[in-house]
């Protein structure tokens, strides 16, 4: 069998492969994502704090899961899942579409060859793709974060939550709240896919197509590195997009630096890494499943496009044969008429 090359698949095919893997992976581990968000937006209680707290306070990942199950049932662990999966699908489709597009443009216009670009170039290409993807998809992320952090008994759908955001102090621009932080956070997928490419070259230098467990391992390792490097920014972004904590008296944060300053002031530097356990577990599983599924989907697309090209060639050959036969028949008739 001939070597399978991703260059045979157009950007939209690679985007579908990536978004399919992302939706599958995130659906499987969604409760971790929901719990991670709640852990990241809660404010640490002080020992001498005797004020009433209407919302539950979670001491860790397992306690958060147990508490949500007790208070809201199983459906509580899936609060906002439709918006989240829609956001995952759109974000990953946009990211992989732009990533494959800018990468191909780089090879066509700059490097002029398909050899591996440098780490700096790989990170830059990923950052450009991530920035373009965020511009189009951040409103869904804002709505999903709001849904995941709704107080008990105030569950709202996507449209109602979007209206709540638009009716807020920022108006319709509130749907792009946290855009600056999101643009800074494009370093996360850039590090993830840059690390994936480098680890692939180091661990499997001779392989073009990876086995499922190999793709899972590389995806999980690369996401772990990216998460550790960007966790404070992830926490700050969630703080920007969620409702302001009680200590802010309804006043929203204006920048992710302001969020980080508030967290350090009230919870210390380690507060910037709250929710790191579910974030790492979720990233490990999601990225592993994503890359494993993406690799399989890309191979399926390559084979599909080859089959479609084969059918097209056969059809063209058949049409050419019919045209040749008709031309031969016409020539025979002309020759017969001349002889007559």
Question: Which of the two residues, 128 and 181, has the higher pLDDT score?
Answer: 128
Distance CA 195, CA 212 (A): 18
Q: pLDDT value at position 83?
A: 79
Reduce the secondary structure of the chain to three states and give it as a string.
CCCCCHHHCCHHHHHHHHHHHHHHHHHHCHHHHHHHHHHHHCCCCCCCCCCCCCCCCCCCHHHHHHHHHHHHCHHHHHCCHHHHHHHHHHHHHHHHHHHHHHHHHHHHHHHCCCCCCCHHHHHHHHHHHHHHHHHHHHHHHHHHHHHHCCCCCCCCCHHHHHHHHHCCCCHHHHHHCCHHHHHHCCHHHHHHHHHHHHHHHHHCCCCCCCCHHHHHHHHHHHHHHHHHHHHHHHHHHHHHHCCCCHHHCCCCCCCHHHHHHHHHHHHCHHHHHCCHHHHHHHHHHHHHHHHHHHHHHHHHHHHHHHHHHHHHHHHHHHHHHHHHHHHHHHHHHHHHHHHC
Distance CA 23, CA 86 (A): 8
Q: pLDDT value at position 52?
A: 44
Closest CA to 64 of 29, 36, 30, 28: 36
Closest CA to 33 of 275, 290, 287, 220: 275
* Cβ pair 186, 131 in contact under 8 A: yes
**Among residues of the chain, what percentage have pLDDT more than 70?**
89
Q: pLDDT value at position 95?
A: 83
Give residue-wise pLDDT tens across range 189-235.
Answer: 778 878 888 888 888 887 777 888 888 888 888 888 888 888 888 88
Distance CA 2, CA 202 (A): 24
Q: pLDDT value at position 57?
A: 77
Angle separating helix axes 158-166 and 81-106, nearest 10 degrees: 80
- 98's tokens: 């732009």
Q: pLDDT value at position 49?
A: 53
Residue 118 main-chain phi, psi, to 5 deg: -70, 165
On the question of pLDDT at 55 being above 60, the answer is no
On the question of pLDDT at 1 being above 80, the answer is no
Q: Scanning the structure block, which residue is given the tokens 């073009």?
A: 208
Q: Scanning the structure block, which residue is given the tokens 């990953």?
A: 92
Q: pLDDT value at position 51?
A: 46
Greatest CA separation found in the chain?
Answer: 116
Q: Scanning the structure block, which residue is given the tokens 């599983």?
A: 285
Q: pLDDT value at position 47?
A: 53
Give residue-wise pLDDT tens across range 235-282.
Answer: 888 887 777 777 777 787 877 788 888 888 888 888 888 888 888 888
Regarding pTM above 0.75, the answer is no
- Segment 278-306 shows an average pLDDT of 81
Average pLDDT, the chain: 80
- 298's tokens: 């890309």
Question: Please, what are the domains in the chain?
Answer: 6-42+51-311 (1.50.40.10)
* Cβ pair 200, 210 in contact under 8 A: yes
Q: Scanning the structure block, which residue is given the tokens 């690799």?
A: 295
- Segment 30-42 shows an average pLDDT of 83
Model confidence at 7, pLDDT cuts 50, 70, 90, reads: low
Give residue-wise pLDDT tens across range 107-165.
Answer: 777 766 656 677 777 778 878 888 888 887 888 888 888 887 777 666 677 888 888 88
């Amino acid at each position: 069998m001939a070597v399978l090359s991703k260059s045979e698949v157009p950007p939209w095919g690679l985007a579908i492969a990536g978004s399919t893997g992302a939706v599958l992976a995130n659906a499987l581990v969604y409760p971790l994502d929901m719990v991670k968000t709640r852990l990241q937006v809660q404010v640490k209680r002080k020992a001498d704090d005797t004020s009433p707290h209407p919302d539950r306070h979670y001491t860790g990942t397992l306690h958060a899961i147990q508490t949500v199950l007790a208070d809201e049932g199983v459906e509580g662990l899936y609060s906002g899942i439709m918006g989240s999966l829609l956001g995952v699908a759109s974000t990953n489709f946009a990211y992989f579409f732009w990533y494959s597009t800018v990468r191909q443009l780089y090879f066509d216009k700059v490097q002029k060859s398909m050899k591996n670009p440098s780490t700096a170039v790989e990170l830059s290409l990923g950052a450009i793709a991530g920035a373009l993807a965020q511009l189009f998809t951040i409103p869904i992320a804002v709505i999903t974060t709001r849904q995941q952090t709704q107080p008990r008994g105030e569950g709202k759908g996507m449209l109602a939550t979007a209206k709540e955001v638009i009716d807020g102090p920022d108006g319709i621009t509130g749907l792009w709240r946290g855009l600056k932080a999101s643009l800074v956070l494009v370093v996360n997928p850039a590090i993830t896919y840059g690390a994936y490419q480098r680890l692939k070259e180091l661990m499997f230098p001779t392989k073009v197509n990876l086995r499922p467990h190999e793709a899972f391992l590389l995806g999980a390792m690369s996401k772990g590195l990216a998460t550790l490097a960007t966790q404070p920014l992830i926490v700050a972004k969630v703080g920007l997009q969620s409702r302001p904590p009680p200590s802010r008296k309804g006043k929203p944060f204006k920048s992710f630096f302001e969020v980080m300053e508030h967290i350090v002031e009230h919870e210390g530097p380690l507060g910037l890494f709250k929710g790191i356990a579910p974030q790492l577990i979720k990233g490990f599983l999601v990225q592993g499943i994503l890359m494993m599924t993406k690799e399989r989907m890309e191979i399926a697309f390559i084979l599909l496009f080859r089959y479609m090209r084969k059918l097209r060639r056969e059809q063209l050959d058949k049409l050419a044969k019919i045209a040749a036969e008709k031309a031969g028949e016409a020539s025979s008739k002309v020759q017969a008429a001349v002889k007559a």
